Amino acid sequence: MSIQVLEVWKSFQAGLSVLQGVTCSVARGEAVVLEGPTGSGKSTLLRLVIGAERADSGTILVGETEIIGRATPQLAAIRRSMGLMVQGMPLLPALTVAENVALALRAIKASSRDMRFRVYESLKAFGLEGRREAYPSQLSGGEAQCVCLARALVTRPPLVLADEPTALLDRVTAEGVIAVLRDAHVRGATMLVATHDSNVAPRLGARRVVLRGGRADDGTMAGGRG
Ligand code: ADP
Ligand code: MG
């Protein structure tokens, strides 16, 4: 499933646009890293793509579906095909780590026999299989971040969106997380990863799009934009 962002504008405050006509795309099966300094609008762009925010103008397409930032049956269907590790989707505090991850599988109606094994495998990829019975409040920030990513990937979604997946991690753990993302991409997932970390794109083998000054630059506009 592809993503197309066309001339998207977004402001939270009159006269101050975070996104100023952003155009970028992720082809089906492609991995793109959205890079840019803190505050450049990366998380905002991801939230627009998943319909959690509404653009002021411009067009966003996920597959054939236009995302208009409003809850619709089409949006719900599209979200089910996305693995999301984004701001505003915390782990549920009353459920254990395993239960949080299993919930994603329940949403796609996986069989309960499948469920235990897949939850275990997805946590194991992050070295967190021993934390299955822990509650979110008992996890470090980095561990919680990895569980969110395990939850996003456990359903093997065709489209993966991740926001700062390596933010709270030491280098070795970050390398492991990038390897898990790379595996998902190699298996065929289309991927959009937002990060301020310039190590992610080369290690993921992803195309880099840089967000700066409200615009996206994928390096194909050499000589500047006239
Ligand atoms: P990044 O993820 O690149 O660090 P963000 O998209 O989180 O950047 O934020 C870009 C800018 O938009 C920041 O100045 C931030 O304060 C502002 N912003 C983001 N979300 C909101 C919001 N819900 N209300 C007001 N301002 C916001
Ligand atoms: Mg951000």
- Ligand nearest to the Cα of 162, by number: 2
Residue 130: which H helix or E strand, with range?
A: none
CA distances from 222 to 215, 217, 219, 225, 226 (A): 14, 9, 6, 8, 10
- The DSSP bridge partners found for residue 191 are 31, 160
- Report the first-to-last Cα separation within the chain, whole angstroms: 32
Encoded tokens for 183: 């595996």
Distance from residue 165's CA to the centre of ligand 2 (Å): 10
For ligand 1, atom 15: residue with the closest CA: 39
Pocket of ligand 1 (CB under 6 A): 12, 18, 36, 38-44
Q: Domain residues of the chain, as ranges?
A: 3-217
Whole-number Å distance between alpha carbons of 194 and 78 = 20
Question: Do the beta carbons of residue 26 and residue 2 sit within 8 Å?
Answer: yes
| Tens digit of pLDDT at every position of the chain (226 positions) | 999 999 999 999 988 999 999 999 999 999 999 999 999 999 999 999 999 999 999 999 999 999 998 888 889 889 989 999 998 899 999 999 999 999 999 988 888 888 999 999 999 999 999 999 999 999 999 999 999 999 999 999 999 999 999 999 999 999 999 999 999 999 999 999 999 999 999 999 999 999 999 999 988 765 444 4
Structure-token pair, residue 144 = 């919680």
State the Cα angle at 53 between 2 and 207, rounded to 5°. Answer: 35
Q: How far is the CA of 138 from the centre of ligand 1 (A)?
A: 28
Structure tokens at 191: 């991927």
CATH number, span 3-217? 3.40.50.300
DSSP 144-172: HHHHHHHHHHTT--SEEEEESTTTT--HH
Q: Are 1 and 161 in contact (CB under 8 A)?
A: no
Give this prediction's pTM.
0.94
* 193-to-63, 117, 162, 181 alpha-carbon distances in Å: 17, 27, 5, 9
Residue 27: how many CB atoms within 10 A of its CB?
13
Q: DSSP class of residue 92?
A: P
